[in-house]
Amino acid sequence: MARKDRSADPAEIQFAIEKAIQDFVRKGLVADSGQRRWSERTGRYEIVWEYTAAGKMFLNTEYKGN
């Protein structure tokens, strides 16, 4: 049974994912690696993201805080 607080529409899910990634880019946590990977789900090449130094530091801080 699907959760009521989240959309099951694939287009809305993809939009939410892309919006979250762009938020990480704006904050300087991730950057385009220059690589592309084929996605069977979307039928197109997608960006391979990588952590920046700030992203790695943020990730380590989050894990230590939990």
CA atoms within 13 A on the CB side of 2: 6
Q: Are the CB atoms for 48 and 33 separated by under 8 Å?
A: yes
Span 1-19, pLDDT tens digits: 556 677 788 889 889 999 9
pTM: 0.70
- Which tens digits make up the pLDDT trace of 24-63? 999 999 999 999 999 998 899 999 999 999 999 888 886 6
Residues 6+ apart with CB under 8 A from 45: 36, 37, 38, 39
Domain locations in the chain as residue ranges: 11-65
Q: Return the DSSP state at 63.
A: H
